[in-house]
Amino acid sequence: MHRVLLIAACLLFVGANSASAKSWHGIVPLHSTRDDVRKVLGTPKRHGDSYDDYELARYTVSVNYATENIFTPGDDCDGPAPYWWGDYHVSVGTVLSVDVSFYPDIPLAKLKIPDLKKLPKGEPDSTLSVDYFDAKRGLEYAIRERKVHRITYGPSAVADAGLRCAPDPEADAREARVNETCTRLFGPMIDSRIGLYAVNQSYVLHLIFDRHGDVVALDIEPNYLYDWWHQDWEKHEDFQHLSKTEYERLLAQVDQIKPRGALVDTAVTTNADGSREQKYGAGVLKWEEMTDSLRSPGAPLIRLFSFYYLKRRAT
């Protein structure tokens, strides 16, 4: 195992500095599979359908995989977060990206990143970390205080161009119309990197778009679920969850963003995780209830809810 860690550490620096390399430890986004990853790294510390997490000496590794497209079954266009990367044709179980986080952070001078000052960069997060993106090499560097704390390995805009999904020329316009509606309802977006709107003092709206610019899902969640990005959003004892009245008001506003359609089945399904769901003409509403005998005796509060738009136009 020590030999594997040594090799991994060496390859990490080779991959970060080579003009043509975009793999980590021989794991190549859009080409390697989960089986390939486990042959190299073994059994993960944590895992799910879309990820494997590993904890190694001085750094952690999170490998992200393509999953079945639940919004458009049979459509193999999938990809890492669209902020930088875009969408690609890949099969289920294919590696999309590899996130490598360092402990401690690596001084920027040691990596000698090519043309760093010329790379496009994002906005600082609450820890003052800034992401720099090298599209040609398929690398994203997270940097703060002149130290690199994470490198993400993803598709190369050059080498993987043949796998890129064809763009929809109307996508930006569709997404812009949705954002205009959200701005009218809730005010300007409060986080453009993640795409969040404040629906009240404690809750945020997060929209998920497909490559056509259509909303395929939305979440209304406590803002403390994003404290990994906004440290001032950590949960407090007096946090106010949604009353039934507030929940119904937000559902009506969701219909202005994209209608749920008519209620298909009055039956409520309770899932194994305790969440509840109900079917509508345009998709599925899922929510979590909780009780607070001090603030709302006898009436359940809503912790969060999501809507998944499963009926889609043909692509």
Q: What is the pLDDT of residues 91-144, one digit of tens each?
A: 999 999 999 999 999 999 998 898 999 999 988 877 889 999 999 999 999 999
Cβ-contact 63, 93 below 8 angstroms: no
Residue 89, φ and ψ in degrees, nearest 5:
-80, 110
Cβ-contact 41, 54 below 8 angstroms: yes
| Residues contacting residue 96 through CB under 8 Å, at least 6 positions apart | 29, 30, 64, 65, 66, 78, 79, 80, 88, 90, 154, 155
Dihedral sign for Cα atoms in the order 3, 114, 141, 149: positive
56 has pLDDT over 80: yes
Q: What pLDDT does residue 70 have?
A: 75
296 has pLDDT over 70: no
Number of residues written out for the chain = 315
Query: DSSP state, 240?
Result: -
CA 66 to CA 55: how far, in whole Å?
A: 22
Between these two residues, 92 and 235, which has the higher pLDDT value?
Answer: 92
pTM (2 d.p.): 0.72
Neighbours of 253 (CB within 10 A): 15
Q: pLDDT class for 277, splitting at 50, 70, 90?
A: very high
160 has pLDDT over 90: yes
311 has pLDDT over 70: no
Lowest mean pLDDT, pick from 37-41, 44-48, 144-148, 299-303: 299-303
7 has pLDDT over 70: no
Query: What is the mean predicted confidence (pLDDT) over 152-160?
Result: 93
User: Count of H helices and E strands in the chain?
Assistant: 5, 16
Amino acid type, 163: L
For residue 76, give both structure tokens: 């193999």
| Residues contacting residue 15 through CB under 8 Å, at least 6 positions apart | 21, 22, 23, 24, 153
Share of the chain above pLDDT 70, in %: 88
293 has pLDDT over 80: no
Share of the chain above pLDDT 90, in %: 65
Query: What is the mean predicted confidence (pLDDT) over 225-238?
Result: 82
Q: pLDDT class for 173, splitting at 50, 70, 90?
A: very high
